[in-house]
Amino acid sequence: MTLSRERAVEVPGFAEPTSEPIDPAQFPPRAIKAAHGRPWFMDAMEARTGDGVAWFRLNHAIIEGAGPLSSVLGPADWTHGIARPFQNVVADPNPNLTVQLFRKPEGGWVGVRAQTRWRPAGGLGTGSGVLLDPHGEIGRVSMSVVLVPFPKAEPAKSAPMPA
């Protein structure tokens, strides 16, 4: 529905879900650890993968009283990392994140059906995906991405020999 001059106008396009809800808990859990070994935001989420969708559920509210978008932003931010071309050799910061929701998510699970496109030379790419809840599509996500090699470890310096 679109509002125009304070008058509602019916617009076809986004149909309400007609299929039975899916239970993401049926899929095996995934333990995702940071390459740096320190705590990170993923520690606040449970992750599962099945049927081409990465499912996330926050373990607790990040900000009490925040609206429904707050439960979607964390999972949406993982879109570019779900299908990136390298693991544990590059960081893949995304300088922007665009999320569009056309309905509020229902239940605690948010799914991402991700796609990424990478330019072989230069390490530039894009991430995008369909956002879901257990009842169906809730919106879309998109971002630009750059691949940055992890810094090489400095060789340990030995202490000078006493004279």
> Is 161 inside any structural domain?
no
Indicate whether 102 pLDDT > 50: yes
Full DSSP string of the chain: -EEETTEEE-----PPP-SPPP-GGGSPEE----TT-S--GGGGEEEEEETTEEEEEESS-SSTT--THHHHHHHHHTHHHHT-S-SSSEE---S--EEEESS---SSEEEEEEEEEE-TTT-EEEEEEEEEETTEEEEEEEEEEE-EEPPPPPPPPPPPPP-
> Is 57 inside any structural domain?
yes
> Is 29 inside any structural domain?
yes
Say which residue, 60 or 160, is predicted with more confidence.
Answer: 60
Q: Is the pTM here over 0.85, yes or no?
A: no
> Is 13 inside any structural domain?
no
> Is 14 inside any structural domain?
no
pLDDT band at 2 (very low <50, low <70, confident <90, very high): very low
Indicate whether 13 pLDDT > 80: no
Of 7-11, 37-41, 129-133, 153-157, which has the strongest mean pLDDT? 129-133
**Window from 20-34, 105-119, 145-159 with minimum mean pLDDT:** 145-159
> Is 11 inside any structural domain?
no
Split into its structural domains, the chain has a count of 1
> Is 47 inside any structural domain?
yes
User: What CATH number does the domain containing 31 carry?
Assistant: 3.10.129.10
> Is 68 inside any structural domain?
yes
**pLDDT value of residue 4:** 42
Domain that residue 100 falls in: 19-148
